[in-house]
């Protein structure tokens, strides 16, 4: 059993009041709040081990390096990767995908094809488009069914001998759809294509097992899973990463530099140019400790209770449409009120203390497929409560009365 009152005490941000009302934070899909354990770990790094990593023989530098490298080992263990060299620290999911797009696409030849899905975040579309233009690659996108699930039959028909990569989200940031990534990866592998999974929306709710999925790449951001901002991970299979050229050049990523030529460092450093956010990376250990302590499986079960309750109550509001109704859904609800602009709904909810996200959610191709410009979106985290859901429903009912 989760002790939600205790968990809430770990998140001081939840004590805020907005317009004289207790804040209800439902914008967890964009970013989650951070517990004091993680903030304390960041404070510890700044006050005790603020020395640049990997470059110093002195004690402080070695301690900073140890904090970073033990965080790498913890991430490896968390996602069940085989080797620490397969864990590359980035600024986030976006940078992780850009890394693969810039580097892996250099191994492809003109006319090769990449498969995406219509529900991808711009972070998993635009980097591929940039490289496609540069290298003469072709992008195809899989459609979705009415309930927001992937059309698997359509997916299978998109493969050809030229398909070299599939890039798809584990969980949609708009629809909440949990994609059958293991099955989709196996299909791609049958055609000899590599697979990149955008795990940004999965990692706060499930612990991905990259070896079980058999993903070639898996990207995610810590700020969405109660961790520090500005840090993400690219997992990549060692044999593929070894073949890929560096993404950025600079310090840390070289073995030897001269004007006659430069040789590059081994994995993972080949892909980690410059000084990383080593203090933040050090706090990843505290982040994963926290996720272990609250137990993601219980959290996920609890969040699904909130999802079911909110969905049932929202369906009773006249004129409300929910986008994404698959069985296997993450605790995300995107919706619109007929005749009301999503911004107006968001602003009226904010005035009642409820923080929600509005707009296209960086998924304009999906909006186009749904025939809308945007939605209001809520998402649940471990600290949300049934009382907050009830309050949200009454606030939303007031919005509907005012706007429809």
Q: Which residues are catalytic?
A: 362
Query: Which secondary structure element, helix H or strand E, spans residue 183, and what is its range?
Result: helix 181-190
Tokens of 277: 């956010």
Instruction: Report how far apart the first and last C-alpha atoms of the chain are (Å, whole number).
Output: 40
Q: Closer to ligand PMP at the Cβ: 61 or 93?
A: 93
Q: Closer to ligand PMP at the Cβ: 4 or 369?
A: 369
Distance CA(282)–CA(288), nearest Å, equals 11
Nearest to 265 by CA among 77, 54, 100: 54
Q: Between helices 284-294 and 59-79, what is the axis angle to 10°?
A: 40
| C-alpha pair distances (Å), 177 with each of 32, 230, 323 | 19, 25, 10
Closest distance to ligand PMP from the beta carbon of 291 (Å)? 17
Closest distance to ligand PMP from the beta carbon of 159 (Å)? 23
Q: Closer to ligand PMP at the Cβ: 124 or 358?
A: 124
Q: Which residues contact 66 (CB under 8 A, 6 or more apart)?
A: none
Q: Closer to ligand PMP at the Cβ: 65 or 201?
A: 201
Q: Closer to ligand PMP at the Cβ: 167 or 340?
A: 167
Closest distance to ligand PMP from the beta carbon of 101 (Å)? 13
Handedness of CA 201, 379, 184, 122 (dihedral sign): negative
DSSP string, 57-123: -SHHHHHHHHHHHHHHHHHHHHHT-S-GGGEEEESSHHHHHHHHHHHHGGGS-TT-EEEEETT--GG
Q: Closer to ligand PMP at the Cβ: 93 or 336?
A: 93
Closest distance to ligand PMP from the beta carbon of 73 (Å)? 23
Q: Kindly report whether the peptide bond that precedes residue 268 is cis, defined as omega within 30 degrees of 0.
A: yes
Distance CA(285)–CA(58), nearest Å, equals 23
Nearest to 290 by CA among 77, 66, 42, 34: 34
Which chain residues interact with ligand PMP by CB under 6 A? 30, 92-94, 121, 123-124, 169, 173, 198, 200-201, 221, 362
């Amino acid at each position: 059993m989760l002790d939600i009152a205790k968990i809430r005490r770990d998140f001081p941000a939840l004590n805020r009041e907005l317009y004289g009302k207790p804040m209800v934070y439902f914008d967890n899909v964009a970013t989650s709040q951070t517990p004091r354990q993680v903030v304390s770990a960041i404070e510890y790094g700044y006050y005790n081990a603020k020395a640049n990593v990997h470059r110093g023989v002195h004690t402080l530098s070695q301690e900073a390096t140890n904090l970073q490298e033990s965080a790498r080992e913890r991430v490896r263990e968390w996602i069940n990767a085989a080797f620490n060299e397969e864990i590359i620290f980035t600024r986030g999911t976006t940078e992780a995908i850009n890394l693969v797009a810039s580097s892996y696409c250099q191994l492809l030849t003109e006319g090769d094809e990449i498969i995406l899905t219509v529900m991808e975040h711009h972070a998993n579309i635009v980097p591929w488009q940039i490289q496609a233009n540069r290298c003469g690659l072709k992008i195809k996108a899989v459609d979705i069914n009415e309930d927001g699930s992937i059309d698997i039959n359509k997916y299978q028909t998109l493969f050809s001998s030229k398909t070299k990569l599939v890039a798809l989200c584990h969980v949609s940031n708009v629809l909440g759809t949990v994609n059958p990534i293991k099955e989709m990866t196996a299909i791609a592998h049958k055609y000899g294509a590599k697979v990149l999974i955008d795990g940004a929306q999965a990692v706060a709710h499930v612990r991905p097992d990259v070896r079980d999925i058999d993903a070639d790449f898996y990207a995610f951001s810590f700020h969405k899973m109660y961790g520090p901002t500005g840090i993400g991970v690219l997992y990549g299979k060692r044999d593929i990463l070894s073949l890929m050229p560096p993404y950025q050049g600079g310090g840390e990523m070289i073995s030897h530099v001269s004007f006659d030529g430069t040789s590059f460092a081994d994995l993972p450093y080949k892909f980690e140019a410059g000084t990383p956010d080593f203090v933040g990376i050090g706090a990843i250990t505290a982040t994963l400790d926290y996720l272990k302590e609250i137990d993601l499986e219980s959290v996920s079960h609890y969040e699904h209770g909130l999802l079911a309750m909110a969905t049932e109550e929202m369906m009773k509001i006249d004129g409300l449409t929910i986008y994404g109704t698959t069985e296997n859904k993450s605790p995300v609800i995107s919706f619109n009120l007929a005749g009301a602009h999503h911004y107006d709904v968001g602003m009226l909810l904010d005035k009642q203390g409820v923080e929600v996200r509005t707009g296209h959610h960086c998924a304009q191709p999906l909006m186009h497929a749904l025939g809308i410009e945007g939605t209001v979106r809520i998402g649940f985290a471990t600290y949300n409560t049934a009382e907050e859901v009830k309050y949200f429903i009454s606030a939303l009912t007031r919005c509907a009365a005012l706007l429809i």
